Chains A and B, each alone.
Chain A
Amino acid sequence: AQSVTQLGSHVSVSEGALVLLRCNYSSSVPPYLFWYVQYPNQGLQLLLKYTSAATLVKGINGFEAEFKKSETSFHLTKPSAHMSDAAEYFCAVSEDGTSYGKLTFGQGTILTVHP
C-alpha cells in the first residue's frame, strides 16, 4: 500500500524566507503526487500535482515541488514566504495510479510565518 510521510508537523519561517516542506512517499506503481493547502475553517485546495510529466512542478501562489524518484521525495518549496502562506499543508499520493481515485495523505505540516 502507498504511504506518505511529511517530516515536521510544524514549520516556522520568517516572512521573506525560503519555505521547504518535506514529503516522502512509497508507492508500488508510478505515483501521482499532490500538495494541498488548508486554510483555517476551509476545505483543501490543490496547490500542485505531479502526473509523470515534468519533474519540477509549478503550482499556485508561487509554490513548486520537485519529484525525485531516487529519493522518493516530493518536497514543496517557495522562495519567499508571505504572511498569507500560513496554513496547513498536506502531501498526498494516489492509491490506484490515477489522479482522481483514492488519495493517501500525509499527517500534515502546519506552516507559521513570522513578520
Chain B
Amino acid sequence: EAQVTQNPRYLITVTGKKLTVTCSQNMNHEYMSWYRQDPGLGLRQIYYSMNVEATDKGDVPEGYKVSRKEKRNFPLILESPSPNQTSLYFCASSSNAGINQPQHFGDGTRLSIL
C-alpha cells in the first residue's frame, strides 16, 4: 500500500529539548515536503526537498532543520523547540515524473511544546 508514514503521531515535550519527527514514503517519490497546520492559517510549507541532498526553505523555516540522505526519508528536526512551534505537522510526497502527479500526505504529527 502506498503511504507516507510519520512518527510519532503525538508528542508532548519541553522547551529546548531536541526532537526529530520522521517521515518515510514507499512510493519512490522525488519530492517531499513538510507543512505545519495552525487554526485559521491553513497549511504552510516549512521545508521541501526535490531529491536526495537537495533541500530548500519554504515559507516558515525558522527553528527547523531537515535532511534528505535517502530518497524515502525526510526527517524534520527541531534543535531547540519553543512553544510557538506547537502545531500539527504534515509530511507530503509526490513524484515529478509526470506533470500531473498529486501530493500524498501523512496522517500528521501533533506536537505540544511546553
Residues of A within 8 A of B (CB): 4, 9, 34, 36, 41-46, 49, 51, 90, 92, 98-103, 105-108
Q: Mark B66-107, 1 if CB is under 8 A from A, else 0.
A: 000000000000000000000000101011100111110111
Docked complex Cα distance between A61 and B99 (Å) = 24
Chain B contributes a number of interface residues (CB within 8 A of A) equal to 26
Contacts of B108 in A (CB 8 A): 41-43
Q: Complex: how many Å from CA A40 to CA B94?
A: 23
Q: Are B103 and A100 in contact (CB under 8 A)?
A: yes
Q: What are 8 sample pairs from A and B whose C-beta atoms fall under 8 A apart?
A: A43-B105, A43-B107, A90-B42, A99-B99, A101-B48, A101-B94, A103-B43, A107-B42
- CB proximity of B32 to chain A, nearest CB, Å: 10
Given A51-B100, A99-B102: A43 in contact with B31 (beta carbons within 8 A) = no
Q: Does B58 contact A (CB under 8 A)?
A: yes
* Contact status B33-A102, CB under 8 Å: yes
Given A98-B96, A98-B99, A100-B94, verify A42-B107 contact (CB < 8 Å): yes
A107 near B101: Cβ-Cβ < 8 Å: no
**A48 vs chain B, min Cβ distance (A):** 10
Interface check B44, CB cutoff 8 A:
yes
* Cα distance, A99 to B103, chains bound together (Å): 8
Chain A residues lying within 8 Å of B4, measured Cβ to Cβ, are 43
Q: Given A107-B40, A107-B42 in contact, is the A99-B100 Cβ separation under 8 Å?
A: yes
Closest to A36 in B: B105
